[in-house]
């Protein structure tokens, strides 16, 4: 009896093992990055952050787990993580200002510009407001070791209205790769390579969230400016996740010996996630620096120029054909816009 039951029991054990272990709750075991989004604890503002600027334009709501920052004619506002991190998973759910928001920039990013002014690293989500009736755009960027002369902007349109509800924006950064996510969908991956050399961020960074006036460039290259008749412009942040290796601020050694550090130490994307990312990029990417031949006659080394099938949809300026051409150039600011904002503080 036992001997005949055993194989099927064995089979069922593994069958259910995989069903349950690969369910969203336990996805952790199957796919580290997706799991992180499900399982990581959220922080209150006080636990992880400190106000950077903006006085009363930063207020806390919901037991200090929700942060509201606003821009008016006096000032924008921003906050930063208390610690510097070398690698980790960083996430926030963000709701952007509704209505007329041309010139307004909301940024969720990592940087170490204040610690390493000449060789800074940076990972950006930048949200660029728009005139009424036109949607917000999102831009990501990667700088490493002071590589601000080479912008690696990518721009996307969103498949939802980011002013209507909270959506989650995340950055996974480890020694090998950087992945940006929107609502758990990977949208961009940067892999460390010999070609990229020092341009792959490799020094500890802080996490920042800011709202500020980007009238000079944010909307149609500066044509539409912030109009303070519509102020205050309000952005809200919640589900704050910082799951990284905090470093010693004096010598920048990493104190990261937690057993779960491996979570982001070796992330890989499942084939399903990769397909999702490719699908997102095919549909929603409106500017790609690798295709911008006007700016980079020789594309930066990490660009794989064999992507002929998608490249044909982009002009020589890296902007996708069809409906987006008026909005170009905004991404051309030659230095990181958030770094500029930092400098202006």
Binding residues vs ligand NAG (CB under 6 A)? 119, 145, 149, 197-198, 334
Q: How far is CA 14 from CA 9, 10, 121, 180, in A?
A: 9, 6, 45, 33
| Cβ closest to ligand NAG, residue 97 vs residue 144 | 144
Which residue's C-beta sits nearest to ligand NAG?
Answer: 198
Bridge partners (DSSP) of residue 207 are: 110
The phi, psi pair for 184, rounded to 5°, reads: 75, 0
Which CB, 4 or 334, lies closer to ligand NAG? 334
Minimum distance from CB of 334 to ligand NAG (Å)? 4
- As measured in angstroms, the least distance from the Cβ of 107 to ligand NAG is 18
CB 103 within 8 A of CB 213: yes
Structure tokens at 54: 């903006």
**For ligand NAG, the closer CB: 3 or 298:** 298
Question: Minimal distance in Å, beta carbon 221 to ligand NAG?
Answer: 12
Closest CA to 180 of 213, 155, 210, 211: 155
Please tell me which residue in 73, 126, 154, 189 is annotated as part of the active site: 126
Concatenate the DSSP letters of all residues of 162-227 into one string.
TTTS-EEEEEEE-SSEEEEEETTEEEEEEE--TTTGGGS--S-BEEEEEEEE-TTTTTGGGTS---
The CA–CA distances, whole Å, from 209 to 145, 226, 236 equal 21, 19, 10
Cis peptide before 90 (omega within 30 of 0): no
Residue 244 bridge partners (DSSP): 88
We find the least distance from the C-beta atom of residue 335 to ligand NAG, in angstroms, to be: 6
| CB closer to ligand NAG, 89 vs 217 | 217
Instruction: Compute CA distances 214 → 86, 124, 220, 230, 301, whole Å.
Output: 29, 15, 11, 15, 30
135 an active-site residue?
no
Q: Check if 153 is active-site.
A: no
Nearer to ligand NAG, 216 or 279 (CB): 216
**To the nearest whole angstrom, how small is the minimum distance from the Cβ of residue 116 to ligand NAG?**
9
Query: Residue 166 CB: number of other CB atoms within 10 A?
Result: 17
Q: Which of 73, 122, 189, 302 is catalytic?
A: 122
The two tokens of residue 236 are 């809200």
CB of 96 to ligand NAG, least distance (A): 26
Cα 146 to Cα 149: distance, rounded to the nearest angstrom: 8
Q: Tokens 């794989």 — which residue?
A: 304
Q: Which has the closest alpha carbon to 81: 93, 70, 72, 92?
A: 92
Nearest distance in Å: CB 114, ligand NAG: 17
What residues are annotated to the active site? 122, 126
């Amino acid at each position: 009896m036992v001997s005949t039951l055993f194989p099927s029991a064995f089979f069922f054990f593994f069958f259910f093992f995989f069903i349950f272990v690969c369910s969203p709750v336990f996805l952790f075991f199957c796919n580290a990055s997706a799991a992180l989004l499900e399982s990581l604890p959220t922080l209150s503002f006080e636990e992880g952050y400190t106000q950077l600027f903006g006085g009363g334009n930063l207020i806390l709501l919901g037991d200090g787990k929700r942060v509201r920052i606003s821009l008016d004619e006096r000032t924008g506002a921003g906050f930063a993580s208390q610690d510097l991190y070398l690698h980790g998973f960083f996430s926030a759910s963000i709701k952007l200002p509704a209505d007329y928001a041309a010139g307004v920039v909301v940024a969720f990013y990592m940087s170490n510009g204040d610690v390493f002014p000449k060789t800074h690293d940076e990972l950006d989500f930048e949200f660029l407001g728009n005139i009424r009736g036109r949607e917000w755009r999102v831009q990501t960027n990667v700088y490493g070791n002071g590589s601000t002369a080479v912008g690696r902007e990518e721009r996307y349109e969103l498949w939802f209205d980011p002013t209507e509800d909270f959506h989650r924006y995340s950055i996974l950064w480890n020694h090998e790769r950087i992945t940006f996510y929107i609502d758990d969908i990977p949208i961009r991956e940067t892999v460390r390579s010999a070609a990229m050399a020092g341009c792959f961020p490799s020094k500890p960074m802080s996490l920042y969230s800011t709202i500020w006036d980007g009238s000079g460039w944010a909307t149609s290259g500066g044509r539409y400016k912030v109009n303070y008749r519509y102020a205050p412009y309000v952005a809200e942040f919640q589900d704050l996740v910082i799951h990284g290796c905090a470093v010693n601020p004096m010598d920048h050694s990493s104190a990261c010996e937690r057993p779960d550090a491996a979570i982001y130490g070796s992330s890989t994307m499942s084939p399903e996630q990769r397909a999702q990312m490719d699908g997102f990029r095919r549909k929603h990417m409106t500017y790609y620096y690798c295709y911008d031949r006007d700016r980079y006659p020789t594309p930066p080394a990490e660009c794989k120029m064999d992507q002929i099938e998608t490249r044909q949809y982009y002009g020589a300026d890296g902007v996708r054909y069809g409906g987006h051409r008026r909005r170009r150039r905004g991404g051309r600011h030659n230095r990181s816009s958030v770094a500029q904002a930092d400098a202006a503080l």
